């Protein structure tokens, strides 16, 4: 299932509710294989070395529920009223999402306008991922 307005809006709504009026605040929304949408955001501990990504809480919740993640999007509120930007998953989040298979769909910003996005599968975001050597029929992470 592609990243759609519902999923992006869920992340934006959490950001607005949790961080009203704050620039560069963000959140993530994940869709599970049963259609459930989970949202999460990242705590800000004093030691930046232990920070987590916005997606982490929802990924952990999906694991707790024993559900597969099928789509993920992360947003941030840009400064100076420039709207909400879609962020591609960082390398760590890509690894976390790869636990759900190479076909998890993620939102990536359009280069000319980060308020707009397109959907890519993890296998296309990370074409040289180390586990690509495994054939699909022996995928070791599902």
Question: 31: pLDDT confidence band, cut at 50, 70 and 90?
Answer: very high
Predicted pLDDT at 127: 86
The share of the chain scoring above pLDDT 70, in percent, equals 94
Give the SS3 label for residue 20. Answer: coil
The structure's pTM equals 0.90
Helices assigned H by DSSP within the chain: 5-18, 56-65, 91-98, 122-125
CA dihedral (6, 7, 8, 11) positive or negative = positive
Q: What pLDDT does 138 receive?
A: 63
Q: Would you state the structure tokens that stand for residue 87, as one six-digit string? A: 């962020």
User: Residue ranges per domain, the chain?
Assistant: 5-138
Strands 69-77 and 105-110: parallel
Q: Which tens digit of pLDDT belongs to each residue from 59-93? A: 999 999 999 999 999 999 999 889 999 999 999 99
Q: CA 130, CA 135: separation in Å to the nearest integer?
A: 12
The percent of residues above 90 in pLDDT, for the chain, comes to: 80
State yes or no: pLDDT of 54 exceeds 90. Answer: yes
Q: Which CATH class is domain 5-138?
A: alpha beta
Question: CA 14 to CA 75: how far, in whole Å?
Answer: 10
């Amino acid at each position: 299932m592609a990243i759609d307005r519902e999923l992006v809006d869920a992340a934006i709504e959490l950001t607005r509710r949790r961080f009203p009026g704050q620039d560069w605040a963000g959140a993530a929304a994940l869709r599970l294989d049963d259609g459930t949408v989970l949202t999460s955001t990242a705590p800000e501990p004093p030691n930046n070395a232990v920070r987590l990504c916005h997606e982490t809480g929802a990924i952990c919740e999906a694991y707790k529920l024993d559900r597969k993640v099928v789509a993920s999007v992360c947003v941030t509120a840009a400064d100076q009223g420039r709207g909400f930007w879609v962020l591609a998953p960082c390398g760590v989040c890509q690894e976390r999402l790869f636990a759900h298979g190479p076909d998890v769909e993620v939102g990536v910003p359009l280069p000319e306008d980060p308020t707009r996005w397109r959907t890519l599968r993890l296998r296309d975001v990370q074409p040289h991922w180390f586990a690509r050597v495994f054939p699909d029929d022996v995928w070791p992470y599902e």
